[in-house]
Copies of this chain bind each other. A is one copy, B any other.
Amino acid sequence: MSGNTFGNVFRLTTFGESHGPGLGGVVDGCPAGIPLDESMIQLELDKRKPGQGGLASTTRKEPDQIKILSGVFEGKTTGTSIGFYIENTNQRSHDYSKIKDVFRPGHADFTYNAKYGFRDYRGGGRSSGRETVSRVAGGAIAQELLRTEGISIYAYTVEYGGIKAEIKDYEGAQDRPYFSPDPDIIPAWEKHITEVRDEEDTLGGVVEIRATGLPVGLGEPVFGKFDGRIAQALMCVGAVKGVEIGSGCEAARSRGSLNNDNLDENGFLSNNAGGILGGISSGQDVIARAYVKPIPSILQEQQTVTTKGEPTFIMVGGRHDISAIPRINPVLKSMMALTIADLLLLDRRLGVRD
């Protein structure tokens, strides 16, 4: 409730700051007997590593070695809580004097300072994007559970800096730069990235997250709807400013006769609903999109104030990505996995499938 726990039945609790000793978390509620070892989690963590993202990434190295501390015995989950830890190994002694007493525009400096009375000014502390490493580790555990049920999750980039991709092959996207579902769009994206980098600016984009192999019936009516849960899961990732399901925002400009998904004896004839009806999964693919803002750390001077409210200018230097995409993709995938794991276990106790 204080914000560091996600889920009710399958639950992830995380801790850690960008410049503390390390980050980690606890997964509680994972059933016993699920195959799990560190290498499975490491695979997902490696997708979030800097340098994976083609031209858009920093060259900073963070090995991000996962260590499982509990809850696994002889290669399987025991049903008790799974603790894990990732040591921070890349903390160089910085000079923070430039940002210690100044609020960086677009960052959480101002609000953290107001809420808590002071802040850990070293690299954003708990508000740093580095926090998401724990989400990816927890999400990897969720994905191992989902795998045993035949459920897969994909997160691929459908728009970058305003340039749309075609969804030609989402399954192969995770092996391509920018997690692109369209190999042919990559040169156009890279040209744009190079231009924007030269202008010392940053870019956003759109990520589609898809879950396949879902049973019918996940989600709870009214306040616990599957789509509501997804919206919360994706919107609570740092840079996300908009979330849509299925036909999404465009549905607002459509008509009932066009937007309804009709059925025949083979099932649904379209998927404008994005796999969810009345808040409950229909068995079709669940499809959501997250709209990602450009990252706020730019190599330009920006107008701001000090912690005492005096006007000043700040130039946030350092090694920064030009976009949260594609490093945000495994994070969004993890949030979807955590959401589905929770609803799956919750649903098992209800309804006719028991």
Interface residues of A (CB under 8 A from B): 1-6, 8-9, 11, 13-17, 20-26, 28-29, 31-33, 67, 69-71, 73, 76, 78-83, 85, 103, 105-108, 110-112, 114-120, 125-127, 131, 159, 161-162, 196, 201-206, 216-217, 219-225, 227-236, 238, 241-249, 251-257, 259-265, 269, 273-274, 276-283, 291-298, 300, 302-305, 309-311, 345-352, 354
Q: How distant is the Cα of A283 from the Cα of B22 in the complex, in angstroms?
A: 32
Cross-chain contact A260 with B105 (CB below 8 angstroms) = yes
Smallest Cβ distance from A213 to chain B, in angstroms? 16
Q: What residues of B have a CB within 8 angstroms of the CB of A25 in the complex? A: 26
Smallest Cβ distance from A181 to chain B, in angstroms? 16
Copies of this chain, whole number: 4
Output the nearest chain B residue to A310 by Cβ-Cβ distance: B265
Residue in contact with A23 in the complex, picked from B8, B70, B225, CB distance below 8 Å: B70
Q: What residues of B have a CB within 8 angstroms of the CB of A24 in the complex? A: 69, 83
Q: How distant is the Cα of A20 from the Cα of B69 in the complex, in angstroms?
A: 7
Cross-chain contact A107 with B278 (CB below 8 angstroms) = yes
Cross-chain contact A110 with B254 (CB below 8 angstroms) = no
Q: How distant is the Cα of A348 from the Cα of B224 in the complex, in angstroms?
A: 20
**Known A-B contacts A1-B29, A256-B296; A291 and B248 likewise in contact (beta carbons under 8 Å):** yes
Smallest Cβ distance from A149 to chain B, in angstroms? 11
Residue in contact with A264 in the complex, picked from B264, B303, B352, CB distance below 8 Å: B303
